[in-house]
Structures are given as C-alpha cells and as structure tokens.
Amino acid sequence: MKILYAANRAEIFSGGQISLLELLSGLNRSCFEPLVLCPGEGEMASRIRDMGIDVRLWDMPAARSAGIAGIRKKIRELRSIIRECGADIVHTNGSRAQFYASVAVKNTGTSLIWHVREAKRDSLFYDWFLAKAADRIVCVSEAVKNRRFGRFSYFLRKTRVVYNGVDIRKFLRDEEGRKSVRDELGVGEKQVLAGVVGILIPRKGHDFLLKGLSRAAKRYHGIKLFVIGKSVDSAYAERLKTMARDFRITDKVVFSGSREDIGSVLSALDMFILPSRSEGFSRGLLEAMACSLPIITTDVEGNNEAIVDGESGILVPYGDVDGLASAMGRCAEDTDSAKRMGRNARKRVEECFTVERHVSRMQELYEELKKGRRRCG
C-alpha cells in the first residue's frame, strides 16, 4: 500500500515532527510503501532519507501569500504527484498540507487522512472545509477531538483518537547522564532539581511555573528549576527572565535553550513539571513519564488524559500558585511517594503510550481505508 505523507515543516520544531518521524521509522515496510513531501531541505528531509524513504521537496505557501493562481498551481502539482506515485492514501500533518490535499485528491480515488496535533481552532469555515474533505481525521487526544471538532458533531463519526507514543527504550534512567548534567548545573545529589521541557511560548505556562517556584523556594530552599526549550517568542523569553529577577530566584533557575541530550536531562531531574494553560497531547510529558519521573502538571484536557492524579502524578488547576508550590514541596519532601508516582508513570506509558502502539493503530487505520470503508460522515 502506497502512502504519501505531507509534512508541514522542513525543520523539527516540536513534538509533532518527531512523532511523524517515529511513525515512518516503525512502519511495516513489507506492507506500506511511504513517500514523504517536505516543504524544503532541512532536518526532516535528511532524517527521512536516512531511513531509506524517498523524499520529494514540495513547498506549501500560505494561501494568503500564494493568491488564487498560486493555490491552483500548487493543487495541480500535488494532484500530479498523487497520480504519479499511485498513492492509495494521502496522510497530511497540519492544516496547510490538508488545505492543498483537500482539493488535490478529488477524483483520484485516493483516501485522505488529516492528522491533527493541535487543539487550537482555525476559523469555523476553514476547519469545516478541511474536515469535510478528510476520509478520516486523526486527533492526538480527546482534548483535540473535542475542542477542534466538537462543534461539528456530524464529523465525529470519522474522527479517531490515536495517542502519540514514545520509544521507551530511549528513556531509561541514565546514572552517568544524570551525574554529568547535574555537575554541569552545579546541583548536588542532595538538592532537588525540577525541570520543564518545551518551547518558550505563553501557552506553555512558564510564567505560572516561576510564580509557583518563587513560593515553593521560600520553604524548600534546596529546590532548583531547569528550563529546557527553544525560544520562539523573544519578548516572552525576556519576560520570564525579568520575572525571575523580580521574584529573586535567578539563582534557582537555569534557562538552557534546546538540548539534544534529553534522555540525560530527564535522568538528572527529580520531578518534571508541565505548567501549560492548554495542551493537545504533550510528547515531553510522555518522555518524562517514560523516565519514571514524578509528574506535576496542570489539570487541563490533554494532560489529564496522560496522568492519573495521585497515581502517576499530581494535577494542579492552572493558575493555582499555592497548589503548584505545594505539589513541588510534596515531591521534594516525600521521596517515597515521588518514586512510587514515577514508577506508575513509566508503567502507564508502557501500557498506553508506546510508539509501537501508535504505529499499530495507524496501520490498522490504513488497512481500514484500503478495504473501502472510506466515508463515515
């Protein structure tokens, strides 16, 4: 079965690109023949080629900048690619790819899957148009499904929730990596190191976390926070540093930017905190769970699908600074409880959120479409 994947980005920007790469890596190549469209040269194209998968460069300009003539041209190009490669299924990753594919697949006999990784809504008509064209809509969580498509009840019958998965073999506690990172940060083994991994944007709630840390640090003097993530909003990143100065916690916060050694970083932590105000389904959260870390995260849709409160982590209402500080203190002081939650977090990932499970679910969906059960609404 031939599957044409359309990626929205040339570079790895967030967990969505990593999830696509792991799906491609795990495909049963004796049954599924992938071809991937990338909008330009970059890390995505390079890593996909390293898997022995063909990549074709095909840029996807924003509709507003392309204009009517440009849109028609890109649709003709995509339709030609679909016919030339004989794709049975087009699997789009993102709204822009779905926009062009929605028209390009018409009258080709090719099925269309729209993989939706973000809960943020587009305009009512745009989301309706993209959803209507899809034979199946794959959402990474119930949160994404409900927020994005709850307003279109007639499309829910063709919507499937397929959770992201992680390669649990890559996320095992690494004592050597733990020591290396803690030495780098100047954190002793008796100190408590909390951490957050994610791009620095307001939705991720780093400002809320700094408020919680400032309160927790007054009682738990040995606690320190490691902030790992790419800065894509310079004004917001600067505001976070200003907050740290204003709260007088600059000695307790390390901003590191992106890191490649995430396994070692997670091993260095004593707790993982995800303070987001909203989420689709956080890959960073799953990786921390796989590393057997106790989790503190906000009780918002997406997060509360991964974490069972009191068992695999602690859920805190977004904005509850006292609740966040208390949860940090609980993990810092009650190490037995923290370790128990960490073990339970790992077990939950093993049972529900492995990359093998994700790949299996997607392959089942491909087979379902191939057998002709295309339209469900």
Question: Is 122 in the same domain as 201?
Answer: no
- Alpha-carbon span 126 to 237, nearest angstrom: 31
Amino acid sitting at position 180: S
Among 16, 91, 11, CA closest to 47: 11
Q: How many domains does the chain have?
A: 2
Count CA atoms closer than 13 A to 120's CA, side-chain side.
Answer: 6
User: Which tens digits make up the pLDDT trace of 99-143?
Assistant: 999 999 998 999 999 999 987 888 889 999 999 999 999 999 999
Question: Is 47 in the same domain as 134?
Answer: yes
Question: Is 57 in the same domain as 109?
Answer: yes
Q: Domain of 111: which CATH number?
A: 3.40.50.2000
Question: Is 327 in the same domain as 204?
Answer: yes
The SS3 of residue 124 is: helix
Question: Is 212 in the same domain as 253?
Answer: yes
Question: Is 285 in the same domain as 138?
Answer: no
Residue 375 lies in a domain: no
Could you count the other beta carbons within 10 Å of the beta carbon of residue 218? 10
Question: Is 27 in the same domain as 172?
Answer: no
Strand partners, 315: 297
Question: Is 173 in the same domain as 161?
Answer: no
Question: Is 360 in the same domain as 322?
Answer: no
Residue 311 lies in a domain: yes
pLDDT band at 228 (very low <50, low <70, confident <90, very high): very high
Question: Is 297 in the same domain as 366?
Answer: no
Position 377 pLDDT exceeds 90 = no
Residues with Cβ within 8 Å of residue 362, at least 6 apart in sequence: 23, 138, 162
Residues with Cβ within 8 Å of residue 80, at least 6 apart in sequence: none
Residue 261 lies in a domain: yes
Q: What is the pLDDT of residue 72?
A: 94
Residue 201 lies in a domain: yes
User: Which tens digits make up the pLDDT trace of 264-303?
Assistant: 999 999 999 999 998 989 999 999 999 999 999 999 989 9
Position 374 pLDDT exceeds 90 = no
**Over residues 20-37, mean pLDDT:** 96
Could you count the other beta carbons within 10 Å of the beta carbon of residue 163? 19
CB 155 within 8 A of CB 137: yes
Residue 376 lies in a domain: no
Count CA atoms closer than 13 A to 274's CA, side-chain side.
Answer: 31
Q: Distance from first CA to last CA of the chain, Å, rounded? A: 24
Residue 154 lies in a domain: yes
Q: What pTM, to 2 d.p., does this model score?
A: 0.90
Residue 21 lies in a domain: yes
Question: Is 147 in the same domain as 256?
Answer: no
Question: Is 136 in the same domain as 12?
Answer: yes
Residue 218 lies in a domain: yes
Residues with Cβ within 8 Å of residue 8, at least 6 apart in sequence: 39, 60, 93, 94, 95, 96, 97
pLDDT band at 371 (very low <50, low <70, confident <90, very high): confident
Share of the chain above pLDDT 90, in %: 80
Q: What is the pLDDT of residue 78?
A: 96
Position 376 pLDDT exceeds 80 = no
**Over residues 72-101, mean pLDDT:** 95
Query: What DSSP line would sit under 211-259, residue for residue?
Result: HHHHHHTTT-TTEEEEEE--BS-HHHHHHHHHHHHHTT-GGGEEEEE--
Q: What is the pLDDT of residue 64?
A: 83
User: Which tens digits make up the pLDDT trace of 157-216?
Assistant: 999 999 999 999 999 889 999 999 999 999 998 899 999 998 999 999 999 999 999 999
Range of the domain at 81: 2-165+355-370
Strand partners, 114: 92, 137
Outline where 269-312 has alpha helix (H): 283-290, 303-306
Choose the weakest-confidence range: 37-51, 75-89, 145-159, 232-246. 145-159
**Over residues 256-267, mean pLDDT:** 92
User: Which tens digits make up the pLDDT trace of 291-349?
Assistant: 999 999 999 989 999 999 999 999 999 999 999 999 999 999 999 999 999 999 999 99
- Alpha-carbon span 24 to 364, nearest angstrom: 15
